[in-house]
C-alpha cells in the first residue's frame, strides 16, 4: 500500500477534491472539504443508529443565528466527548493557577450594567488558571501548544468566567467539530503517543481536510506557542460577546489581556532543552515570581463595536477563526489584573476549579458564534463528569463570594443544609425564600432571529485564508523564518506524503514564498496544487500588533540572568554584574560546578543557586561568565560547561565574559558579535540582554 493511502474500516480510502458526501449542500461554501472515496463505507450515525446527513455543522436558527438546543446530534457528540476521561481534564489538563484581583480603571457604564465593569476602583477577587491544551496533567510545561487563559471573577453579582486562550482565534468554526479536533491532536489511539505534540499524522490529516484551521495553524507554528513565561503571554476571550446596558441596548465586545512585562518567547531548540532541564519551568517561574513579590500583571482591554460596524467588516466576527485587527477596532484599556497569591493546595484549587463560559453576570451576554454556543453546553457538562456532582459550585474555589441561593436540592456531595419545607418556586409558604429579581436580574439581549433552521454555515464564514495571510505577512523576517521552520519540522514527522502535500497546497493560498520554503524543506519534488478556495483570498493590510519581536518591551524586568562561577572567580566582578542586572529588574542566579558554591579569589565562599549540570543556560535570558584562567581550563573538559556557553550563544542570548570567561568561549569555539561583551561594560551587557541577538541566528542554524 502506498503512503498516499490508508486502510480504514471496510476498505481503502484516499483524498479527492469535492464536498463531503454527508455534507448539507447549503453548507459547502462555508467549509470546503475533501471527499473520501474508494470502497464501501458504513453510514456515520448517532449512538442510537440514526444516520447523519451532516457532521460538520450544528443546527442553527439561520446561517448566522444561535445554535438550537434541539440539536440532539451536537448534544450527544459533545456530551460523549466530555465524559471520555475522568477525573483529569481531557484538554487543558496541565496548568498553573494563582489568586489575585481585578481593578477597574475605566467604567463601561454606557455599554453594560455589569458592576464589575462599571465601578471604577473596585477590586474584584479572581482566580486565574493558565494551561497547555494537548498534554496530560503529567506532561511538561513547554511544548509547542496553545495556552488556555481562564479567569474567574468573584463579582458582587455572581461569578463571571472569562475562558479563553493566548491566541485570539481557534481551529474550528463550529463546536460540533471540537471532539474531532482534539481526537486528532491527542495521542494516536493505537500507539498512545505522541504526548503533548501536534507533529504527527492524525493532527495534520485533520488540518489538511479542514481549511478553516489554517489561520490558527499560522499562530500555532509561530513563536506564540513557545512562551518564555506565563507572565509574558497575552490572553483573549476569542469570541464576540455582548455587553447590555440599563436601557437594554447591546454592544459587541472582545476581551484582551495584555501582560505588563510584554511578550517574549523562546526558540524551538531552547524549548526542547528546557523541557528536559525543568519540566515545570513555567509553573516554577510563576511560583518564584509571586514568592518574590514580583506579581504578574495584565491590562484588560476591550474592542467595542456595533452590529452596524460589524456588518462593514471584511470578515464575520462570529467566526472564531477570525480576529478583529487592532487597526480596525482599537483596544480600550479598562482595568488591570494582578496575581499575588499562590494556592494553598494545588488539587483543592488549581485542579478543582471549574470554569464555564456560561457563567456570566447581568450586563454580559453571548453572541451567535457557533463555537461559543457549543461551549456553553460543553464546559458545564465536563464539570459534571470531572467533579462528579452538580454541586461542584459548592467547592470553595468555585463558590461565589456574594450571597447565592435557589431551590435546587440534594445531589451527590451536597454540602449545604437547607431548612424548611420549601423547595420550589413560586410559593406562598415562606416569606424569606429566594425570589426572581425582575429589575436587577439577568436579562438576555433582545435580539430578533428569523430564517429557516438547518445544518448550515453562513456564506460569510467561507474565507479561510485571508487572515492567515495577514498574520504571516505581518511578522518580522525572523518570525516568518520560525513559522516556516516549524512547519517543516512538524510535517517532517508526518509519515503520509499526501498529507504533507495537502498542507503545502493550503500554504500556497496563504503565501507562495512560505509554501516554497516549506516545500523545499520537505524536499518535495513538485509543488502540489493549491486547493480551490471557497471565497476570494483578500490582501489585508499588515498588522504590526500581531508580532512578538516588534512588541517586546525594552526591559529586563521579569527576566533571569545566570552567572557562572567557579573556584578562583573574582567576587567584585560578580557583585558588579549582579547589581547591574538586579537594578535593571532581572532575577539573578549564581551557577557553580558544585551546589555548595565556590571559593572565590579572596578566599570567601559564595553560595550557588544551582549546580552547573542541573542549571543549564536555557533557564536564563542572558548569562555572565566570571572565571579564573585555571577554572576555564578545568571546565573545558566539562560537557555541561561547554553546553552552557554554546547554548547561550546558539539561543541568541547576551553573554558577558571576563578574561577567564572569554577563554572558555574560545575553547568551546563560540563566536563573537555585538551580544558578547566584557564584564567591564555592564551597560552594554544589560542593553544586549533585553532582547535576542536575532542577526546571530543565521550563523548558528539553518532555517526554512
- 665-691 residue pLDDT tens: 999 999 999 999 999 999 999 999 999
The 8 Å CB, 24+ separation contacts for 5-13 are 6/496, 9/41, 9/42, 10/39, 10/40, 10/41, 10/42, 11/38, 11/39, 11/40, 11/41, 12/38, 12/39, 13/37, 13/38, 13/39, 13/41
Cα–Cα dist 257/577, whole Å? 34
Taking alpha carbons only, the member of 645, 455, 667 closest to residue 28 is 455
463-550 matches 554-700 in fold: no
Query: CA of 95: how far to CAs of 85, 89, 262, 280, in Å?
Result: 17, 10, 21, 10
Cα–Cα dist 656/625, whole Å? 6
Q: What are 700's three cell numbers?
A: 548558528
Cα–Cα dist 108/271, whole Å? 40
- 637: which residues sit within 8 A by CB, 6+ positions away? none
pLDDT over threshold 80, residue 463: yes
- For domain 78-394, give the CATH number: 2.40.180.10
Residue 694 CB burial class (10 angstroms; 0-12, 13-18, ≥19): middle
Q: What are 144's three cell numbers?
A: 509547542
Answer yes or no: are the C-beta atoms of 592 and 611 closer than 8 Å.
Answer: yes
Cα–Cα dist 360/366, whole Å? 9
**What is the per-residue pLDDT for 86?**
54
55 given a catalytic annotation: no
| % of the chain surpassing 70 pLDDT | 94
**What is the per-residue pLDDT for 365?**
96
**What is the per-residue pLDDT for 195?**
94
H helices present in 59-121, as ranges: 72-82
What pairing do the DSSP bridges indicate for beta strands 34-37 and 11-17?
Answer: antiparallel
Cα–Cα dist 195/138, whole Å? 10
**Which residues share a beta bridge with 16?**
35
pLDDT over threshold 70, residue 24: no
Cα–Cα dist 365/187, whole Å? 36
Cα–Cα dist 26/21, whole Å? 13
Phi-psi category of 307—alpha, beta or left, where left has phi over 0 and alpha has psi -120 to 50?
Answer: alpha
pLDDT over threshold 50, residue 31: no
Question: Residues 288, 291, 294, 295: what is their CA dihedral angle, to the nearest 10 degrees?
Answer: 100
Cα-Cα-Cα-Cα dihedral sign, residues 678, 684, 686, 690? negative
**What is the per-residue pLDDT for 39?**
58
Longest CA–CA separation in the chain, Å: 90
**What is the per-residue pLDDT for 473?**
98
What does residue 387 show for φ and ψ, rounded to 5 degrees? -95, -5
Answer yes or no: are the C-beta atoms of 237 and 162 closer than 8 Å.
Answer: yes
Strands (E), 433-474: none
Cα–Cα dist 91/86, whole Å? 12
Buried b (16+ CB within 10 A) or exposed e, 120-154: eebebebbbbbbbbbbbeebbbbbbbbbbbbbbbb
Edge-to-edge strand ranges of the sheet holding 6-8: 6-8, 11-17, 34-37
Q: First CA to last CA across the chain, in angstroms?
A: 31
pLDDT: which is higher, 33 or 81: 81
Residue 263 CB burial class (10 angstroms; 0-12, 13-18, ≥19): buried
SS3 121: coil
**Which residues share a beta bridge with 655?**
623, 676
Cα–Cα dist 382/387, whole Å? 8
Number of helices (H) and strands (E) in the chain: give both, helices first. Answer: 18, 21
- 394: which residues sit within 8 A by CB, 6+ positions away? 413, 414, 415, 416
pLDDT over threshold 70, residue 37: no
- Stretch among 1-10, 71-80, 310-319, 356-365 having the lowest mean pLDDT: 1-10
Taking alpha carbons only, the member of 481, 466, 476, 467 closest to residue 551 is 476
**What is the per-residue pLDDT for 1?**
37
Answer yes or no: are the C-beta atoms of 16 and 35 closer than 8 Å.
Answer: yes
Q: Which fold has domain 554-700?
A: Rossmann fold (3.40.50)
**What is the per-residue pLDDT for 20?**
37
Cα–Cα dist 551/544, whole Å? 8
DSSP classification of residue 192: T
pLDDT, one tens digit per residue, over 433-447 is 888 888 888 989 999
Beta-carbon-side half-sphere exposure of residue 420 (alpha carbons within 13 Å): 14
Rounded to the nearest 10 degrees, the angle between the axes of helix 571-583 and helix 682-689 is 50
pLDDT: which is higher, 36 or 515: 515
Mean pLDDT along residues 634-642 = 97
398 given a catalytic annotation: no
pLDDT over threshold 50, residue 641: yes
Query: CA of 6: how far to CAs of 13, 22, 35, 265, in Å?
Result: 6, 20, 15, 38
**What is the per-residue pLDDT for 69?**
85
**What is the per-residue pLDDT for 439?**
84
pLDDT over threshold 70, residue 149: yes
**What is the per-residue pLDDT for 436?**
83
DSSP classification of residue 669: T
pLDDT: which is higher, 242 or 12: 242
Q: Could you tell me the pLDDT band of residue 18, with boundaries at 50, 70 and 90? A: very low
Answer yes or no: are the C-beta atoms of 406 and 434 closer than 8 Å.
Answer: yes
Answer yes or no: are the C-beta atoms of 154 and 228 closer than 8 Å.
Answer: no
- Stretch among 105-114, 318-327, 403-412 having the lowest mean pLDDT: 403-412
Q: What top-level class would CATH report for the domain 463-550?
A: mainly alpha
pLDDT over threshold 60, residue 19: no
What pairing do the DSSP bridges indicate for beta strands 605-606 and 598-599?
Answer: antiparallel
Q: What are 217's three cell numbers?
A: 495553524
pLDDT over threshold 50, residue 8: no
Averaged pLDDT of the chain: 92
pLDDT over threshold 60, residue 38: no
Catalytic residue among 92, 200, 359, 651: 92
H helices present in 522-610, as ranges: 571-583
Q: Does the model's pTM come out above 0.85?
A: yes
Cα–Cα dist 294/261, whole Å? 11
pLDDT, one tens digit per residue, over 595-632 is 999 999 999 999 999 999 999 999 999 999 999 999 99
Cα–Cα dist 685/563, whole Å? 12
Cα–Cα dist 281/675, whole Å? 25
pLDDT, one tens digit per residue, over 40-96 is 788 888 777 777 889 889 999 999 999 998 898 888 888 888 877 657 888 998 999
* C-alpha angle 127-128-129 in degrees, rounded to nearest 5: 125
Q: What are 588's three cell numbers?
A: 539573578
pLDDT, one tens digit per residue, over 151-189 is 999 999 999 999 999 999 999 999 999 999 999 999 999
Catalytic residue among 57, 165, 398, 509: 165
Domain boundaries, the chain: 1-43, 78-394, 463-550, 554-700
Cα-Cα-Cα-Cα dihedral sign, residues 391, 394, 397, 402? positive
Amino acid at each position: 500500500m502506498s503512503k498516499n493511502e490508508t486502510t480504514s474500516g471496510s476498505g481503502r480510502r484516499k483524498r479527492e477534491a469535492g464536498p463531503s458526501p454527508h455534507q448539507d449542500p447549503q453548507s459547502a461554501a462555508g467549509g470546503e472539504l475533501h471527499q473520501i472515496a474508494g470502497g464501501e463505507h458504513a453510514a456515520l450515525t448517532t449512538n442510537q443508529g440514526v444516520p447523519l446527513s451532516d457532521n460538520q455543522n450544528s443546527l442553527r436558527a439561520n446561517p448566522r443565528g444561535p445554535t438550537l438546543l434541539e440539536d440532539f446530534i451536537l448534544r450527544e457528540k459533545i456530551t460523549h466527548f466530555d465524559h471520555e476521561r475522568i477525573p483529569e481534564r481531557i484538554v487543558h489538563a496541565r496548568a498553573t493557577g494563582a489568586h489575585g484581583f481585578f481593578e477597574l480603571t475605566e467604567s463601561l457604564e454606557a455599554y453594560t450594567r455589569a458592576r464589575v465593569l462599571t465601578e471604577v476602583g473596585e477590586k474584584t477577587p479572581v482566580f486565574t488558571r493558565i494551561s497547555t491544551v494537548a498534554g496530560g496533567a503529567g506532561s511538561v510545561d513547554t511544548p509547542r501548544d496553545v495556552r488556555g487563559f481562564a479567569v474567574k471573577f468573584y463579582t458582587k453579582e455572581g461569578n463571571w468566567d472569562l475562558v479563553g486562550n493566548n491566541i485570539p482565534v481557534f481551529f474550528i468554526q463550529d463546536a460540533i467539530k471540537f471532539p474531532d479536533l482534539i481526537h486528532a491532536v491527542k495521542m494516536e489511539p493505537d500507539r498512545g503517543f505522541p504526548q503533548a505534540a501536534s507533529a504527527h499524522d492524525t493532527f495534520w490529516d485533520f488540518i489538511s481536510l479542514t481549511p478553516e484551521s489554517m489561520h490558527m495553524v499560522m499562530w500555532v507554528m509561530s513563536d506564540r506557542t513557545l512562551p518564555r513565561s506565563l507572565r509574558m503571554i497575552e490572553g483573549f476571550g476569542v469570541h464576540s460577546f455582548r455587553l447590555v446596558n440599563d436601557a437594554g441596548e447591546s454592544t459587541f465586545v472582545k476581551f484582551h489581556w495584555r501582560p505588563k512585562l510584554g511578550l517574549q518567547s523562546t526558540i524551538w531548540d531552547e524549548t526542547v532543552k528546557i523541557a528536559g532541564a525543568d519540566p515545570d519551568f513555567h509553573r516554577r517561574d510563576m511560583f518564584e515570581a509571586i514568592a518574590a513579590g514580583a506579581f504578574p500583571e495584565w491590562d484588560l482591554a476591550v474592542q467595542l463595536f456595533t452590529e452596524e460596524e460589524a456588518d462593514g467588516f471584511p470578515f464575520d466576527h462570529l467566526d472564531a477563526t477570525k480576529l478583529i485587527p487592532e487597526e480596525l477596532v482599537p483596544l480600550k484599556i479598562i482595568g488591570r489584573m494582578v496575581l499575588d497569591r499562590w494556592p494553598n493546595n494545588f488539587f483543592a484549587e488549581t485542579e478543582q476549579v471549574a470554569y464555564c463560559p456560561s457563567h456570566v453576570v447581568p450586563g454580559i451576554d453571548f453572541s451567535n458564534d457557533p463555537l461559543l454556543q457549543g461551549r456553553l453546553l460543553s464546559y458545564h457538562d465536563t464539570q459534571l463528569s470531572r467533579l462528579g456532582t452538580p454541586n461542584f459550585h459548592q467547592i470553595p474555589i468555585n463558590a461565589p463570594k456574594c450571597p447565592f441561593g435557589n431551590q435546587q436540592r440534594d445531589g451527590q456531595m451536597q454540602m449545604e443544609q437547607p431548612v424548611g419545607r420549601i423547595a420550589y418556586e413560586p410559593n406562598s409558604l415562606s416569606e424569606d425564600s429566594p425570589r426572581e429579581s425582575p429589575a436587577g436580574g439577568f436579562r438576555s439581549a433582545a435580539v430578533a432571529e428569523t430564517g429557516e433552521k438547518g445544518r448550515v454555515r453562513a456564506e460569510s464564514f467561507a474565507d479561510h485564508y485571508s487572515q492567515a495571510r495577514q498574520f504571516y505577512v505581518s511578522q518580522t523576517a525572523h518570525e516568518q523564518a520560525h513559522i516556516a521552520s516549524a512547519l517543516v519540522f512538524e510535517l517532517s514527522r508526518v509519515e503520509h506524503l499526501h498529507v504533507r502535500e495537502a498542507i503545502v497546497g493550503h500554504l500556497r493560498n496563504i503565501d507562495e514564498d512560505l509554501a516554497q520554503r516549506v516545500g523545499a524543506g520537505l524536499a518535495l519534488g513538485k509543488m502540489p496544487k493549491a486547493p480551490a478556495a471557497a471565497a476570494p483570498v483578500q490582501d489585508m493590510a499588515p498588522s504590526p500588533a500581531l508580532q512578538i519581536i516588534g512588541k517586546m518591551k525594552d526591559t529586563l524586568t521579569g527576566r533571569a540572568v545566570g552567572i557562572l562561577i567557579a573556584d578562583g572567580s573574582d567576587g567584585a566582578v560578580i557583585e558588579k554584574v549582579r547589581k547591574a542586572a538586579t537594578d535593571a529588574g532581572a532575577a539573578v542566579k549564581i551557577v557553580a560546578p558544585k551546589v555548595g558554591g565556590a571559593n572565590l579569589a579572596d578566599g570567601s565562599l559564595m553560595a550557588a543557586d544551582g549546580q552547573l549540570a542541573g542549571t543549564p543556560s536555557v533557564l536564563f535570558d542572558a548569562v555572565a561568565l566570571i572565571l579564573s584562567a585555571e577554572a576555564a581550563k578545568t571546565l573545558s573538559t566539562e560537557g555541561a560547561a561547554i553546553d552552557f556557553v554554546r547554548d547561550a550563544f546558539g539561543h541568541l542570548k547576551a553573554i558577558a565574559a571576563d578574561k577567564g570567561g572569554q577563554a572558555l568561549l574560545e575553547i568551546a569555539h563560540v563566536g563573537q558579535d555585538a551580544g558578547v561583551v566584557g564584564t567591564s561594560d555592564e551597560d552594554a551587557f544589560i542593553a544586549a540582554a533585553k532582547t535576542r541577538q536575532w542577526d546571530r541566528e543565521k550563523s548558528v542554524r539553518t532555517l526554512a
